[in-house]
Amino acid sequence: MSLLETLAGKGLRREPPTREEALALLATSDDDLLDVVAAAGRVRRHWFGRRVKLNYLVNLKSGLCPEDCSYCSQRLGSKAEVLTYTWLKPEEAADAAVAGVSAGAKRVCLVASGRGPTDRDVDRVADTIAAIKDRRPDVEICACLGLLRDGQGERLRDAGAHAYNHNLNTSEERYGGICTTHGFDDRADTVRRSRDAGLSACSGLIAGMGESDEDLVDVAFALRGLGVDSVPVNFLIPFEGTPLAGQWRLTPQRCLRILAMVRFVCPDVEVRLAGGREIHLRSLQPLALHVVNSIFLGDYLTSEGQAGKADLDMIADAGFEVEAADVPTMPGPGPAPGGGDGAVPVPEGEPPVSHAGLVAVRRRGAGTDLPPNA
Ligand code: SF4
């Protein structure tokens, strides 16, 4: 049986591939790309049909983080000219959230920069959740506030949060090369805490930071091992003013292979096409919808995405439909109905082709006087 038939068959049975099969998938050639997408698409359609879940980001607190994650425009010492502001008032955040929900978003992701929340911060977020739920009672709320301490996940759950996001980002082995102020274990601990608190665990990765295929496969299996419900797959947005500026190592074809690998490792889990899709997949974005079942609508935390209307048009043109609020995202049991400071080694090879002109710092929505992109 061919590799792709094996992978699709396992995905339809909720079985993961072997590590070797996942690596072999990443090593397939561009000539096989449509076959890879088709095989992953079989698994995607089996568990999620043609539904696309829309998620909407609201950056509650932007920039000035004391941590040194090298990929992040909000990091310690960042020279990226991103918006910086402290906590939005609950009504301001609710205005942005409602704009996203009105455009079709089912989940609102409330994000704040920083190592982790104080108990006072958790109270602020609880007030924000109440303000949003007051206007849109059915919306799913995901909080993303950094490392959790005892009782904070429970407090967020009691306030009405549905999920908690904390990304592993890269493999355990590579983690020390992208951040020195906290470790992989800290991140995995917060994913476990969120799950143990009864929140739906959301955790994903960032590709394009100079990692190897082994790193990508390792982080995908680590996420599966943590039992996460949703996996955002980000592609590095190499902001000027951060240590990873100028890293344009991804091709649209490689992005699709990475998404397919994650789909096969986590076949029945919400796989979300996240930050960087516009600048790395570019005109191949619609093909990714055959692999993922979830995307962010509109803008990201500190950069602008394509217009929300363009996202909706893309979904419709590709033959998919926006997932309704009353439809469960996750399939039930049984068969489905259908470096610290820049010490990041750059691989040898051709010099990267820069697409820096495609990165637009966010200047609208939360924290500004301009309406949000939704
Ligand atoms: S990823 Fe989070 S913790 Fe790391 S620098 Fe950015 S805002 Fe801070």
> What is the arithmetic mean of pLDDT over 163-190?
97
Give the whole-angstrom CA distance, residue 298 versus residue 358: 15
pLDDT(343) > 60: no
Structure confidence by residue, pLDDT tens digits, 290-314: 999 999 998 888 888 888 899 999 9
How far apart are the CA of 44 and the centre of ligand 1, in A? 31
Instruction: Supply angle C-alpha 293, 299, 301, rounded to 5.
Output: 100
Residue 22 gets which letter from DSSP? Answer: H
Quickly list H helices, 49-198: 90-102, 119-135, 152-159, 172-175, 184-196
Q: Could you tell me which residues are annotated as the binding site for [4Fe-4S] cluster?
A: 65, 69, 72
pLDDT band of residue 353 (cuts 50, 70, 90) is confident
Ligand 1 atom closest to 78 (CA): 5
Q: Which helix (H) or strand (E) holds 58?
A: strand 51-61
65, 54 in Cβ contact below 8 A? Answer: no
How far apart are the CA of 71 and the centre of ligand 1, in A? 9
pLDDT band of residue 10 (cuts 50, 70, 90) is very high
Domain contains 10: no
Domain contains 18: no
Residue 355's pLDDT is 79
Is residue 352 classed as helix, strand or coil in its secondary structure? coil
> What is the arithmetic mean of pLDDT over 57-64?
94
Residue 336's pLDDT is 66
Distance from chain centroid for Cα 298: 13
Residue 338's pLDDT is 52
Domain contains 2: no
How far apart are the CA of 144 and the centre of ligand 1, in A? 11
367, 62 in Cβ contact below 8 A? Answer: yes
Tell me if 253 CB under 6 Å of ligand 1.
Answer: no
pLDDT(346) > 60: no
Domain that holds residue 105: 51-257+270-328+339-358
* Residue 91's CATH number: 3.20.20.70
pTM across the whole model: 0.92
Residue 1's pLDDT is 74
188, 222 in Cβ contact below 8 A? Answer: yes
Structure confidence by residue, pLDDT tens digits, 63-85: 989 999 999 999 998 999 988 99
Domain contains 4: no
pLDDT band of residue 342 (cuts 50, 70, 90) is very low
Residue 345's pLDDT is 47
Quickly list H helices, 226-370: 252-265, 277-280, 285-288, 308-317
Residue 350's pLDDT is 66
Q: Which residue has the tokens 């010490």?
A: 343
Structure confidence by residue, pLDDT tens digits, 113-140: 999 999 999 999 999 999 999 999 999 9
pLDDT(232) > 50: yes
340, 66 in Cβ contact below 8 A? Answer: no
Q: Could you tell me which residues are annotated as the binding site?
A: 65, 69, 72, 109, 142, 202, 272
pLDDT band of residue 330 (cuts 50, 70, 90) is confident
pLDDT(207) > 50: yes
Tell me if 215 CB under 6 Å of ligand 1.
Answer: no
Domain count, the chain: 1
Residue type, 261: M
Domain contains 308: yes
Most confident of 20-24, 99-103, 351-355: 20-24
Give the whole-angstrom CA distance, residue 25 versus residue 19: 10
> What is the arithmetic mean of pLDDT over 29-33?
97
Residue 100's pLDDT is 94
Share of the chain above pLDDT 70, in %: 95
Which residue lies with its CA nearest to atom 4 of ligand 1?
A: 69
Ligand 1 atom closest to 68 (CA): 5
Domain contains 5: no
Which residue lies with its CA nearest to atom 2 of ligand 1?
A: 113
pLDDT(224) > 50: yes
How far apart are the CA of 275 and the centre of ligand 1, in A? 14
Give the whole-angstrom CA distance, residue 72 versus residue 275: 12
Tell me if 75 CB under 6 Å of ligand 1.
Answer: yes
Choose one of 69, 115, 300, 302 to mutate for the ligand 1 pocket test, by most ligand atoms within 8 angstroms of C-beta. Answer: 69
> What is the arithmetic mean of pLDDT over 196-224?
98
Q: What is the mean pLDDT of the chain?
A: 93
Domain contains 301: yes
Tell me if 71 CB under 6 Å of ligand 1.
Answer: no
Residue 332's pLDDT is 80
pLDDT(347) > 60: no
Give the whole-angstrom CA distance, residue 17 versus residue 38: 17
Tell me if 146 CB under 6 Å of ligand 1.
Answer: yes
Residue 337's pLDDT is 58
220, 193 in Cβ contact below 8 A? Answer: no
Domain contains 253: yes
Tell me if 99 CB under 6 Å of ligand 1.
Answer: no
pLDDT(371) > 90: no
